[in-house]
Chains A and B, each alone.
Chain A
Amino acid sequence: MLVDQEKCSGCGICVPYCPAQAISIVNKKAIIDRDACLECGNCIRSLVVRCPKGAFYEEPGLYEGPRAIRRFFSDPSTSHKVTKIPGRGTEEVKTNDVTGRVCRGEIGIALEVGRPCLGTTMTEVEKCTMALAELGIEFEECNPLTHLMEDRKKGTIQKQYKEEKLVSAIIEFAADFKMLVPIMQRVKKVAQELDTVFSLDLICCYEDDGSLPVLPVLEELGMKPRVNSKVNLGLGRPFKIYREKKEEKVCDTFTA
């Protein structure tokens, strides 16, 4: 984002709203540190910062270069023009009862890199994708990050995006249940090499008796789930819980 210096009154109302601390007041005018700005759009939203002078505007040509991914990975109201896929990821568990993205006998994993608070560069994201790629996992087709990869088998990110900074990027994939231990061991290892944080998700289906086969395995790994979770109540139709055959994946939508 940019600030129209003629319009800006220097009131500073915008400063605390920036999650990247990219806005400061210099010579009684707001300025934006272009390198730090994540293009999340907080400052430009009329119902958020409410700049009395309407001084913020979007950088001309923003969508033409690699910087566009800052916008698409940071602002939930944008549709992804680089990858053609909206949002930062899939609807994960939110529509899992009808998409069957993760069925019984499988696990869904996500690492939301940069969240909470710290943000990330694509270089940090690549540390994770490369480490996971060594296990032979298949990255989620319907996640925009997958489409920024140079080589999905190696988990490498295209060079022009590596220095871009984002609120977060979500590494998503599904795998067979038997991969749970090696994946979590790898996740623990890569966590020690990062210059940012990630939040870790694990999706799984309930068995008929209401049990979750992942729980004893997680206990052995010393990874106890937190007390709160997201439960898909299974009210959607058509209902799907077993994988009958290998299917073409259908891209889902925004994540919230």
Chain B
Amino acid sequence: MTHSLHRRGTAESLKNDYVLLVTAAADVNHVGSKEKLRKVLEVVWDIGPSNIGSYDTGTVYAGVNIEEIKAALNEIPRVRCAFSSREKIKEVIRRIKELDLGMSVTVQGPTEDILEMSRELGIKPHSVNLSLDIWGKTGDLPSDDVLEVVTQCGHGLISRYLVEKAIAEVKAGKKTPRQAAEMVAHPCVCGIYNPDRAEEVFKRYALASAEAAATKE
């Protein structure tokens, strides 16, 4: 169970952040599923994810292309990707439903939005994984902004120190918010990190830096 669930941030910052997870279940329906998931990848790519990758290849931001991701699907295949708009994720779901592949489709995002989309598409959700927050020694955690970025990696591979370095470089004007967001993308090998959303976090620092410079002048 996972951090594709526990993405941190305010309701506003989570508004356009969706993760699509299409999965074959071992020993239930994985036999012959590779071709089905290739079709899903084609739909996803056609609509335009904000990130996509796989454990075996890495992501598009690390220099991998969609053909390599397709070719790397293994015997128990899975599709992992991120979207930055409600319209896009809804269209992906609509087209996957139309394909009628019988594979499990799970979406991470604002719960009410997913349920509303489901109603609009005539889908009755099966189950939900609810995030009941972080517990324990929370005083040792980094700032909310850093958490907002690191929790976008499903396996905890985005280092807080990399995010802090990126923030420092944006503040110093050495990197644009987009460059910072793409630099941080590399460790998240399966591709559910959303650089569009991370860019918004880094923009806060670019703005603060610009305001500070204007005040000095």
Contact = CB atoms under 8 A, between A and B. Distances in A.
A49 to B, nearest CB: 8
Interface of A: 15-19, 21, 40, 42, 45, 47-48, 74, 76-77, 88-99, 102, 108, 110-112, 114-118, 167-168, 170, 172, 187-188, 191, 194-206, 210, 212, 214, 218, 223, 225-239, 241, 250-256
Contacts of A198: 134-136
Contacts of A253: 25-26, 76, 78
Nearest to A96: B127
Contact of A256 (B80, B115, B131, B140): B80
A235 B160 contact: no
Contact of A94 (B21, B141, B165): B21
Given A95-B28, A256-B21, A225 B130 contact: yes
A250 B27 CA distance: 7
B128 A203 contact: yes
Contacts of B14: 227-228
B165 A200 contact: no
Contact of B189 (A76, A210, A214, A223): A76
A77 to B, nearest CB: 5
Interface string B30-69: 0000000000000000000000000110100011100000
B97 interface: yes
B26 A199 contact: no
Given A76-B189, A93-B129, A167 B156 contact: yes
B126 A233 contact: yes
Majority secondary structure of chain A interface residues (helix, strand, loop or mixed): loop
B105 interface: yes
B186 interface: yes
Given A206-B127, A234-B125, 12 more contacts: A16-B162, A76-B157, A97-B126, A196-B140, A199-B135, A223-B132, A226-B133, A230-B106, A238-B29, A251-B26, A256-B78, A256-B154
Contacts of B158: 19
Interface residues of B, number: 85
A229 B5 contact: yes
Find the residue from A194, A232, A235 having the highest chain B CB count within 10 A: A235
Given A93-B106, A206-B127, A197 B159 contact: no
26 contacts: A48-B58, A48-B187, A76-B157, A76-B189, A77-B189, A91-B104, A96-B127, A117-B147, A118-B140, A118-B141, A194-B135, A198-B136, A199-B3, A203-B128, A205-B126, A210-B115, A226-B131, A227-B14, A227-B111, A228-B110, A229-B108, A230-B107, A233-B106, A235-B103, A236-B103, A255-B1
Find the residue from B112, B130, B156, B159 having the highest chain A CB count within 10 A: B130
Interface in B99-127: 101-112, 114-115, 118, 123-127
B102 A201 contact: no
B2 A255 contact: yes
Given A42-B159, A210-B115, A47 B125 contact: no
Nearest to A140: B1
A256 B52 CA distance: 13
Contacts of B124: 206, 210, 234
Contacts of B126: 96-97, 205-206, 232-234, 236, 239, 241
B206 interface: no
Contact of A16 (B64, B97, B165): B165
A233 B125 CA distance: 4
Contacts of B17: 228
Find the residue from A93, A191, A218 having the highest chain B CB count within 10 A: A93
A152 to B, nearest CB: 19
